[in-house]
Amino acid sequence: MAETVALIGAGIMGQAIATRLLSCGHALAVFDIDKDKVAALVQKGAKAASSPAAAAREADYVILSLNHADIVSKAVFGGDGIASVATPAKLLIDMSSIDPAATAEMAARLKSQTGMAWVDCPLSGGVPGALAGKLTIMAGGEAADFERARAVMKDLAANYTLMGGSGAGQTTKLVNQLFCALAFQAVAEAVKLAEAGGVDPASIPAALAGGRADGRIMQEFMAKFAARDFAPTGSLGNMLKDLDSIQAFALKTKTPLPLTSAVTDLHRILIAMGLGSKDNAEVMRLLDGQ
């Protein structure tokens, strides 16, 4: 069954989410401050909206795909924000990756002020997963709202799991990003080690398939890193944002994360080099001495 959906945020992931929803027949209204990004989706069948409120006014489901908690807060509670047109019949689905505590606070505020429920649904799988409807989505919220969101999530996710109350999805995403950041660094170092030993690093994934070192990041990215293929599949800046969230959460909960701290510092160096908008494969530059 096709649903009426609003999408706030038409960046790299927002574009992929929107494209998938449109291909599945959903009616879609889109808002982004970048009008060119909205125009690209209008060409695919979306309707342009002048504000978050305008996008959400006729929608049953409102999806957020934004970068930071403060941007999410502005989209929901700011002038012409979603809260101004919110009703208990609408459901907010936040697919951003933001702070768990901020998520829980905003969800409670929206519910108490308007009756509109909030499900945090951060994702893993990137653009390819979104376009294929095979994302992994870790959710936080009430069970009934989690099930309501399934009307849209069924077209986006192959793995859709309720992890707990509000913010639990965001906490699970932090765990996911910890694994990803450390795995990208491990792949980069493995490439250098293989090269130093005269072994073609692109042959490593097939050789190690099925063993304990096997994993999707190695299989999908080792050849890319080895080729110094810097075509964008994700940005170092976004990874550092998530690493900063992990570090802040670890500080708050007094959780020791020594390896994550080291990888966070390496990302800070890459950002200082002006590579924040570049692909994760750019971690090779440090190891290459560039």
- Model pLDDT, residue 126: 87
pTM summary value: 0.90
Question: CATH assignment of 171-288?
Answer: 1.10.1040.10
For the chain, percent of residues with pLDDT exceeding 90 = 93
For the chain, percent of residues with pLDDT exceeding 70 = 100
Q: What is the mean pLDDT of residues 257-283?
A: 95
Q: How would residue 166 be classed by pLDDT, with cut points 50, 70 and 90?
A: very high
Q: Which two tokens stand for residue 239?
A: 């990874």
For CATH 3.40.50.720, list the domain ranges present in the chain: 4-164
Q: What is the mean pLDDT of residues 239-259?
A: 94
Q: Which two tokens stand for residue 233?
A: 């599949």
For CATH 1.10.1040.10, list the domain ranges present in the chain: 171-288
By the 8 A CB rule, do 201 and 190 touch? yes
- Model pLDDT, residue 238: 87
Per the DSSP assignment, residues forming a β-bridge with 29 are: 6, 47
Q: What is the mean pLDDT of residues 4-23?
A: 97
Q: Quick one: 4-164 is in which CATH superfamily?
A: NAD(P)-binding Rossmann-like Domain (3.40.50.720)
By the 8 A CB rule, do 170 and 100 touch? yes
Q: What is the mean pLDDT of residues 120-125?
A: 95
Q: What is the mean pLDDT of residues 240-256?
A: 94
How many CB atoms neighbour CB 256 within 10 A? 8
CA dist 191 → 7, 141, 212, 214, 281 (Å): 39, 41, 17, 14, 11
Give CA–CA dist 89/3, Å, rounded: 13
Q: What is the mean pLDDT of residues 13-30?
A: 97
Give CA–CA dist 261/241, Å, rounded: 13
Q: What is the mean pLDDT of residues 114-138?
A: 96
Q: Which two tokens stand for residue 223?
A: 């050849």
- Model pLDDT, residue 182: 97
- Is the pLDDT at 66 greater than 70? The verdict is yes
Report residue 192: phi and psi, to 5°.
Answer: -65, -40
Q: What is the mean pLDDT of residues 150-165?
A: 98
Q: How would residue 232 be classed by pLDDT, with cut points 50, 70 and 90?
A: confident
Q: What is the mean pLDDT of residues 127-153?
A: 97
* pLDDT tens digits along 113-122: 999 999 999 9
Pair type for strands 157-164 and 27-31: unpaired
- Model pLDDT, residue 1: 65
Helix or strand holding residue 159 (H, E): strand 157-164
- Model pLDDT, residue 271: 95
Cα 137 from chain centre: 9
- CA-only gyration radius of the chain, Å: 20
- CB neighbour burial string for 205-220, b if at least 16 within 10 angstroms, e if fewer: beebeeeeeebebbee
- Is the pLDDT at 181 greater than 80? The verdict is yes
Q: How would residue 2 be classed by pLDDT, with cut points 50, 70 and 90?
A: confident
- Is the pLDDT at 234 greater than 90? The verdict is no
Catalytic residues: 173
Give CA–CA dist 87/28, Å, rounded: 18
